[in-house]
Amino acid sequence: MCTNIVYEWLRTLQLPQYAESFVDNGYDDLEVCKQIGDPDLDAIGVAIPHHRRRIHEAVRRLKEADETAAGLYFTLEPQP
């Protein structure tokens, strides 16, 4: 399996064993992963309760990071 962002994300969560199932079920991008709910975890095959909690917490952090980043911007123009 090729390395991608979802694999790296799952690896940081110490859950790389689910990477292939995530990709096979269409979760090949973190934007898509932000939509994961319990039915999705059932389809992916994440049955262990603490693995599910770890993924839910990571999804919450992804969403929070988006909210934080939405207020940030930068410019490439030089400062006076």
Contact 30/6 with Cβ under 8 angstroms?
yes
List the one residue out of 17, 30, 24, 25 whose CA is nearest residue 63.
30
User: Measured between alpha carbons, how far is 17 from 15 in angstroms, rounded to an integer?
Assistant: 5
Each residue's pLDDT tens digit, 2-45:
458 999 999 999 999 999 999 999 999 999 999 999 999 999 99
**Main-chain phi, psi angles of 34, to 5 degrees:** -65, -15
For the chain, the domains span 5-72
More confident residue, 62 or 70: 62
Give Cβ neighbours of residue 31 (< 8 Å, ≥ 6 apart): none
More confident residue, 27 or 74: 27
Q: 5-72 adopts what CATH topology? A: DNA polymerase; domain 1 (1.10.150)
What's the pLDDT score for residue 16? 96
Contact 5/29 with Cβ under 8 angstroms?
yes
Contact 43/15 with Cβ under 8 angstroms?
no
